[in-house]
Amino acid sequence: MRDYVIECHNLETAYAAALNRPILNGINCQIKRGEFVVLLGLNGAGKSTLLRSLVGLVPLVRGKIQINGVTLAPRTLPAIRRDVGMLFQGGGLIRQLSAIENVLCGRLDTRTTWQTLFGFPKHDRLLALELLEQLGLKELANQKTSQLSGGQQQRVAIARALIQSPQILLADEPITGLDAIACQQVMQTLSELHSQQGMTIVAVLHDLGIAAEYAQRAIVIDAGRIVYNGPCDNLQAKFSQV
Ligand SMILES: Nc1ncnc2c1ncn2[C@@H]1O[C@H](COP(=O)(O)OP(=O)(O)OP(=O)(O)O)[C@@H](O)[C@H]1O
Ligand SMILES: [Mg+2]
């Protein structure tokens, strides 16, 4: 088995006139199997763009991404997306649907349009329910997502990312806007996925203290480039504002 599950070689996006440079401007990094890495940086640094590029949502003009040794390309994307779960900034849930229906949406790309018309099979529904139960949301499975709190919504988004049983979880600001207890619950969930299931986790955070508490390594991005890649000790002293 390969040591590195994510390899980014010199990633560069198209020139962005508003920035006077490409959004990602020569990103090189490697992430090992089972690592918990935190991605830090100021607003607009390029953190979300980098995470989104790892699941083929950002066109690159240069560079190469390899996931488990497989180069990301239109042909390899469906398989890569099965291995990589993504938690989008702001949750990305469909507010009109219930919690369980949102979780089941994580299964949509494994089904044809025809199959979707007949609803999800029972084993998928049971799996979705099991995930919601693990995340402490069983009682709220049929509640409309718009009627859940921010922390509960974030956990529904985690369940949706997990229903594919990914090996890698990319979490874009999973705790932004949550209160201290919800923050801790969500970070604890990520930490357990990492320690108990060996999941590789890359999370964008803005809190240096939480980053140091949970992550093994920090990557700091500034203006589309990596400016720090190393241990989480003393992040506060090195970067007062990220
Ligand atoms: N689709 C797009 N087209 C043009 N510019 C974009 C696009 N998406 C993002 N940008 C710009 O690219 C830069 C990086 O955006 P990105 O969302 O990656 O930042 P971020 O580091 O995630 O910031 P935040 O902490 O605010 O979430 C920003 O200046 C943003 O305005
Ligand atoms: Mg972002």
pLDDT value for 133? 93
pLDDT value for 231? 94
Region 210-214: what's the mean pLDDT?
Answer: 95
| Mutate which of 21, 24, 47 for ligand 1 pocket (most atoms within 8 A of beta carbon) | 47
Q: Convert the pLDDT of each residue in 77-124 to its tens digit.
A: 999 999 999 998 888 899 999 999 999 999 887 777 676 667 788 889
Which amino acid type is present at position 31? I
What is the band of 1 on the pLDDT scale with cuts at 50, 70, 90?
low
Q: Residue 19 CA: which ligand 1 atom is closest?
A: 29
Nearest-10 Cα torsion for 11, 60, 215, 178: 150
Domains and CATH numbers, the chain: 4-96+168-238 (3.40.50.300)
CA 235 to CA 241: how far, in whole Å? 10
Does the structure show a pLDDT above 90 at 195?
yes
- Span from the CA of 170 to the centroid of ligand 2 (angstroms): 12
* Ligand positioned closest to the Cα atom of 27: 1
The residue behind tokens 């018309």 is 117
Residue 152 in tokens: 């509960």
pLDDT value for 134? 87
Q: Are 177 and 15 in contact (CB under 8 A)?
A: no
Q: How many C-beta atoms lie closer than 10 Å to residue 232's C-beta? A: 20
> Burial, 157: exposed, middle or buried (Cβ in 10 Å; 0-12, 13-18, 19+)?
buried
Residue 46 in tokens: 């390029």
